Amino acid sequence: MEFTAQQIADYLNGEVIGNKDITVNDFSKIEHGASGTLTFLSNPKYMPHIYTTKADVVLVDTDFVPEREVSATLIKVKSAYSAIGKLFGLIESFKPQKNGISEKAYVAKSAKLGKNVYVGAFTTIGENAVIGNNVKIHPNTNIDDNVEIKDDSVIYTNVSICYGCVVGSRNIIHSGAVIGADGFGFAPDEQGFYNKIPQIGNVVLGDDVEVGANSTIDRATIGSTVIGDGVKIDNLVQIAHNVEIGNHTAIAAQAGIAGSTKVGKHCVLAGQVGIAGHLNIADRTVLGAQAGVASHIKAEGQIFQGSPNIPVGNFRRSSVVFKQLPDLLTKIYQMEKRIKALEAKKMKYKDILSN
């Protein structure tokens, strides 16, 4: 499809700077821009490319002021990053929507399906499952007994949603995710053998949650593992039994949260963050990549880095010292030698004077 710069600006409530009639029919990266495409600038690191890009239209923030002439037509918007996402969503909406239930799918007689549902081939929907309106369940997926999936959610291929779990409205669950596998519950006996503790709870996902590919959210031992509204979970994330994640928290790839920990609202967990069990993490906490958390975080809005985690300012100052440790160690060895030499010299003079 083809759109003019003015049509795009009208859709985004933006302002055109340049040729409002120029048309585009595709997207491109700003550094690889081509004629007929639209791109965007939001990260200052890519600023030099706006003067050389071959893209015809560039979305920029309203406060952008060029240092020299820009050949592309600009569309100024409140947030270029958000605006490009809105355009991607518009393009996605034009794609044909799949509907209907494949003849190769299995749907239990007691399951209840809403209107305009899509169920792909080799998908299984178990007894007493409840599937809301406009839900899309792609092939090779297992929806177990007593699962509830609310309206407008999308479940991609090879997902497993286990017994009794609840998926909120407008969720997106990507391929390979497992919702509601048993939590890691074992009790050692007198001989040191581990005996399994049955996990009889479930997982409850709020509305507008996204779960990345191959991520796992374990069912609760008792009660529910709870993922709040608007939570975004990246690929390869592990969330253990009875964890509670507050609304609108974002968790990046390879992070892991141990059992019964409560993470607050609007938190950010960067890649490979690890949080020990039975902890409370305050609202708006930010944990930098590979942070390891072993104690409660009680004050809101703090930023941490390192393992064990320390305030990010301390971590940065410590990082400077880490780099200097080999040189500092060499200096310590040299100082020890000098001290020993001075002590030996002092003892020699002491012996001479005593004689």
Confirm if 101 and 117 have CB atoms less than 8 A apart: yes
In terms of Cα–Cα distance, which of 200, 106, 111 is closest to 149? 111
- Per the CB < 8 A criterion, the answer to whether 247 and 210 are in contact is no
Q: Which two tokens stand for residue 50?
A: 């706006």
- Copy the structure tokens of residue 301: 């809005």
Query: Could you tell me which of 262, 286, 159 has the C-alpha nearest to residue 212?
Result: 159
Candidate list 241, 248, 278, 296, residue with the active-site label: 241
Q: Which of 255, 282, 283 shows the shortest CA–CA distance to 269?
A: 255
In terms of C-beta distances under 8 Å and separation of at least 24 residues, what long-range contacts does 313-317 make, across chains too?
315/288
Question: Is residue 266 among the annotated active site residues?
Answer: no
Instruction: Using the CB atoms, write b or e for 104-127: b if 16+ within 10 Å.
Output: ebebeeebebeeebbbbeebbbbe
Sequence-distant (6+) residues with CB within 8 A of 148 are 129, 130, 132, 165, 166, 167
Length, in residues, of the chain: 355
In the structure encoding, which two tokens stand for residue 295, read together?
A: 């104690």
Question: What are the backbone dihedrals phi and psi of residue 226, each rounded to the nearest 5 degrees, phi first?
Answer: -120, 125
Any idea what DSSP says for residue 183? P
CA distances from 151 to 24, 134, 145, 343 (A): 34, 6, 18, 81
- The dihedrals phi and psi of 209, each to the nearest 5 degrees, come to -90, 145
Q: Are 255 and 239 in contact (CB under 8 A)?
A: no
Q: How far apart are CA 195 and CA 186, in angstroms?
A: 5
The answer to whether the beta carbons of residues 104 and 86 sit under 8 Å apart is no
CA distance 7 to 328: 63
Which of the residues are catalytic?
241
